[in-house]
A and B are shown apart, each in its own frame.
Chain A
Amino acid sequence: EVQLVQSGAEVKKPGESLKISCKGSGYSFTSYWIGWVRQMPGKGLEWMGIIYPSDSDTKYSPSFQGQVTISADKSITTAYLHWNSLKASDSAMYYCARGGSYSGYWGQGTLVTVSS
């Protein structure tokens, strides 16, 4: 069974760093792209970017380029989304999803709250 299990909710202060994770199982982790999608409170879905774990090839949306870093550790079948310096506007639900195009498998979401 394909599963994507994300790390738990986070509460951070502005300016802090954060890395959230997404562990894939039940499939060949290096054979599929994994992407990240943001959903701000009460809003729609925003495509952030994707990574191919086999060679770490990464594509970002221009809206998120330079704001976040997507990475993966294929040895532990885990993808990451990293912020160096959080802003209040980063408060949102973040989903990982398998697939470099459409996504049939999604993680359960990680809620990130940034507040002073």
Chain B
Amino acid sequence: EIVLTQSPGTLSLSPGERATLSCRASQSVGSRYLAWYQQKSGQAPRLLIYGASSRATGIPDRFSGSGSGTDFTLTISRLEPEDFVVYYCQQYGNSPYTFGQGTKLEI
């Protein structure tokens, strides 16, 4: 089973700043089989990025993903107040398709 480790666990920033979230896999996830989700309190997760760098439908271009193999990054270029929630990465290169433990973005 591939273990995904997200860092940092909590990231404290201010609106307008740039956020960089990391997701590291215990072994290669097969090129770019990595997705990012955003989860607001009390809601289902929302897909942000798939294929490591492709934005899902309707996702603002301030969200971008990069990386391959074992190291991936989600970047939010200019934080909006609604961005201060929890983010998860998920690998789908090898079953079981595991999630990272999450990064909480706080003001």
Q: What is the interface of chain A, defined by CB distance below 8 A to chain B?
A: 35, 37, 44-47, 49-50, 59-63, 95, 97, 100-104, 106-109
Contacts and interface: CB of A to CB of B under 8 A. Distances in A.
Contacts of B33: 101
A103 B47 contact: yes
B92 interface: yes
Contacts of A63: 96
Contact of B44 (A62, A101, A109): A109
Contacts of B90: 45, 47, 102
16 contacts: A37-B99, A44-B88, A44-B99, A45-B102, A47-B90, A60-B96, A61-B95, A61-B96, A61-B98, A95-B44, A101-B50, A101-B92, A102-B35, A102-B92, A104-B57, A106-B44
Q: How big is the B interface, by class?
A: 20 to 34
B97 A47 contact: yes
Nearest to B1: A62
4 A-B pairs with the lowest CB-CB distances in the bound complex, closest first: A101-B92, A61-B96, A102-B35, A106-B44
B104 to A, nearest CB: 10
A56 to B, nearest CB: 16
A46 B1 contact: no
B99 A45 contact: yes
Contact of B99 (A47, A50, A109): A47
Nearest to B49: A102
Nearest to B90: A102
B54 to A, nearest CB: 10
Nearest to B51: A102
Contacts of B3: none
Contacts of A104: 47, 50, 56-57
B38 to A, nearest CB: 12
B44 A46 contact: no
Interface in B57-90: 57, 88, 90
A101 B97 contact: yes
